[in-house]
Amino acid sequence: MNCLKPLTSILSMLFLCISVTRVEAIDLWVPSEYPTIQQAIFAANSGDQILVSPGTYQENLSYIGKDISILSTAGSDQTTIDGSLLTLGPDEGATVTFSGGETELATLDGFTITGGTGRPITDSSGTYRRGGGIRIFIASPTIKNCVLSGNSAEFGSGLYAEETLSLDLSDVSISGNNALEGAGIYLSNCGVINLQNCNFSNNSSMTAGGGITLNLCSQVNINTCSLLNNSAIIGGGLYSRLSTITMSNLQLSNNQASLLGGAITFYQSTATINSSSIIGNFGSRGGGIGLDGGTLSIHSSIIASNTANTNGGAIASTINLTQVEVHRSTITGNTSGGSSGGVFYPPTSSGGALSTLLVNHCLFWNPLTLEIDIPTLAQVDYSVISSGYPGSTVFLFDPVFTNPLIEDFSLDPNSPAIDAGDPLYELDPDNTAPDLGAIFYDQRPLPLLDFSWSIPNPCLQEVTLTWESAGPADFFLISGGPDPSQLLPITTVSGTETSFVHDPGLSGMMTYCVEPSLGGFTPATGASCGEVNVPPLIPQIPISNLICNLDTATCIADLTWVNESSYSSILLQLGATSLTLPGNVTSVTLPAPLGLNTTAILTPVSTCGALLPPVSCQIFCPAPGPLFIRGDVNMDGMRNLADVSSQLSILFQSVNHTCLDAVDTNDDGNIDISDPVFMLLFLFSGGLAPAAPGATCGIDTPAQDFLPCQTGQNCP
């Protein structure tokens, strides 16, 4: 829409012009929407985000003053920006440039930056190419998750920043860059610089600062970074000139300087080193640290196994005034071509007389060398100096490291350096007297390796706590309760125990904690705790009102009962028969054993798997008697005069018979003359019919006599 087109009214023009103004940030995709990243930058507004798909992009970029975010979608392993083609012109060799006043909102995230050759810049020092991979001038961008490798320039092959108020680099790897100075990064006339989780490796400078050069920077904070295998003439890993720098949790190893400061060189700088390790570096002077004036404060750090060709295996200064303080640090195993493996200042005649050294609660341990070689007396308090030194409290004992061969300079449990410090000095974190050296011996027990909890029996509320101890303990304190903020002690168990069972007596969320105690100390991290949901108790009510009915004619038993609770199943035992019934049934019909007095037992199983008390009843189904036809004495299946003849033979000729019940026609329980008479009357005079079972095969029901009988031949 053309907002200059004549309109019917000024209000309409204003509305239409505003309507085409984009105010919301958008995403621009490369290469699906824009073939190059730079084209996307041209199209973007501040606040927009450019999303770059994996691939190699042969281009040089400029943010042209826009606070935009350029983000790779797959990270630096799969997304590369290669500036070797000089797409912005022959003098714009930096792969990425920030030079338009960009703020911290301008972000570069997740790229490998390579092929940069920098931009030629002329100043009082001459004309040099600066900023191979990234060049920053009067801008304050944010750079993270990037790799700066294979770039070249005279200053700052990986990154060059000048006159930036602030700069944040995090999770950036800078390696394989070469330069005249500051091969990794070169920062000049900068304000607040923050480097976090960065790695500088295998960078090489012809003069100073193989990994990092700082020049006239007011506040540099380097945290949790590593500088490995970098090289230069001065400051193999880092060179700081007229700057203020704080370094914390750093690892500096295998860096080399052919003149001064294998790992670090400070020139007229104010520097602080905290909780860092400077191990295995090499320099002609000052294998670990080289000083050319300024002040240096070292705290809780390890300077070990560094080598100097001349003097100062650990630390060496030049003739310029230097002030060094070393607190609670370990300096060991450093060597030099001269006699000073520890700290070296040049002699008085060379101007070293004005330099100072303060050593407090430190371990200087290398019995083969001179630990402190300075022209004036250092202030040494509560420290081990293996070569001896005057001081208020100087020790000569072996501090007994855990395993220096693998660079483990922690204190052995039997070290005499434990609790050997000034009792009026700041206590160790375990609240004991200060130990000597960089790594205090924590007298608190180790926290549990594994802590778990379970309720093995779902029918109970018993909670089983189990744990694995990481070290010795006098006992374990077990506490718990429904309110995590107000746990109460439950008990203590021996330090050899690994489990405990507790019934809280209530349901709901419970918090349990187990805390080892050793020598009155508890772990630095406190107790190991966990939450467990204790279920409510399930009612344990057995079956009631069991009734057993039996049809004696069929021997079919009918059992009925009342379920007083929910059951997972019901176990039925009837003689040798075992059945598992569903938990919701209340009756069952099944055959009963014949002729046996049998107990029917029902045992409900609760929903949590417990066997509840059984209920029972008795069932008896008598066995049926022999089958016969009453009056069929000759057992031919018929009743006639022949049967009367057989009866008379039995009475008067003593003939045996297998079923006297068939002979007992009148069912009086006796075999006599009344039986054939009864039969004759039935056959010829309309007399009564013989009693049951009558004319068909059956049993003697009810059995009122004791006449022997076997199933007759006429009955199946």
Tokens of 501: 């069972």
Q: What pLDDT shows up at residue 228?
A: 98
586 and 702 co-located in one domain: no
Q: Which residue has the tokens 């500051």?
A: 182
pLDDT, average across residues 544-557: 87
412 and 482 co-located in one domain: no
This prediction has a pTM of 0.72
pLDDT, average across residues 423-442: 93
Q: What pLDDT shows up at residue 8?
A: 32
pLDDT in tens, 1-52: 343 333 333 333 333 333 344 568 999 999 999 999 999 999 999 999 999 9
pLDDT, average across residues 417-423: 95
pLDDT, average across residues 504-511: 92
For residues 626 and 499, the model is more confident at 499
Last residue of a domain, one of 442, 474, 495: 442
CA distance linking residue 335 with residue 324, whole number of Å: 20
137 and 111 co-located in one domain: yes
Ramachandran region, residue 126 (left: φ > 0; alpha: ψ -120 to 50; beta: rest): left
219 and 98 co-located in one domain: yes
Last residue of a domain, one of 509, 533, 557: 533
pLDDT, average across residues 373-399: 93
For residues 380 and 628, the model is more confident at 380
549 and 673 co-located in one domain: no
Tell me if residue 646 falls in helix, strand or coil: helix
Determine which of 79-93, 235-249, 433-447, 612-626 has the lowest per-residue pLDDT on average.
612-626
pLDDT in tens, 52-89: 999 999 999 999 999 999 999 999 999 999 999 999 99
pLDDT, average across residues 527-543: 88
417 and 468 co-located in one domain: no
Is residue 415 one of the residues assigned to a domain? Answer: yes
243 and 253 co-located in one domain: no
115 and 219 co-located in one domain: yes
pLDDT, average across residues 420-448: 93
Is residue 4 one of the residues assigned to a domain? Answer: no
Q: Which residue has the tokens 């070296």?
A: 344
Highest mean pLDDT among 234-243, 424-433, 443-452: 234-243
Q: How many domains does the chain have?
A: 5
pLDDT, average across residues 279-287: 97
Q: Could you list the residue range(s) of the whole structural domain that residue 638 is in?
A: 626-716
Is residue 538 one of the residues assigned to a domain? Answer: no
Is residue 13 one of the residues assigned to a domain? Answer: no
Name the pLDDT band for 351 (thresholds 50, 70, 90). Answer: low
Q: What pLDDT shows up at residue 132?
A: 97
The yes-or-no verdict on residue 298 having pLDDT over 50 is yes
397 and 477 co-located in one domain: no
The yes-or-no verdict on residue 528 having pLDDT over 80 is yes
Q: What are the helix (H) ranges across 627-703?
A: 641-652, 660-663, 674-684
Is residue 152 one of the residues assigned to a domain? Answer: yes
404 and 285 co-located in one domain: yes
Nearest to 336 by CA among 394, 383, 410, 387: 387
pLDDT, average across residues 580-608: 88
Element (H, E) at 41: helix 37-43
Last residue of a domain, one of 620, 654, 679: 620
Is residue 10 one of the residues assigned to a domain? Answer: no
Is residue 679 one of the residues assigned to a domain? Answer: yes
The yes-or-no verdict on residue 389 having pLDDT over 90 is yes
Pairing relationship of beta strands 394-395 and 383-385 according to DSSP bridges? parallel
Tokens of 267: 């020139």
Q: What pLDDT shows up at residue 511?
A: 96
Name the pLDDT band for 350 (thresholds 50, 70, 90). Answer: low
CATH of the domain at 703: 1.10.1330.10
Share of the chain above pLDDT 70, in %: 95
CATH of the domain at 574: 2.60.40.10
The yes-or-no verdict on residue 136 having pLDDT over 90 is yes
In the predicted model, what is the mean pLDDT of the chain?
Answer: 91
696 and 640 co-located in one domain: yes
Phi, psi of 94 (to 5 degrees): -65, 135
Nearest to 202 by CA among 182, 226, 231, 222: 231
284 and 422 co-located in one domain: yes
Question: 122-161 burial, b if ≥16 CB within 10 A, otherwise e?
Answer: eeeeeebbbbbbbbbbebbbbbbbbbbbbbbbbbbbbbbb
pLDDT, average across residues 448-477: 91
Is residue 1 one of the residues assigned to a domain? Answer: no
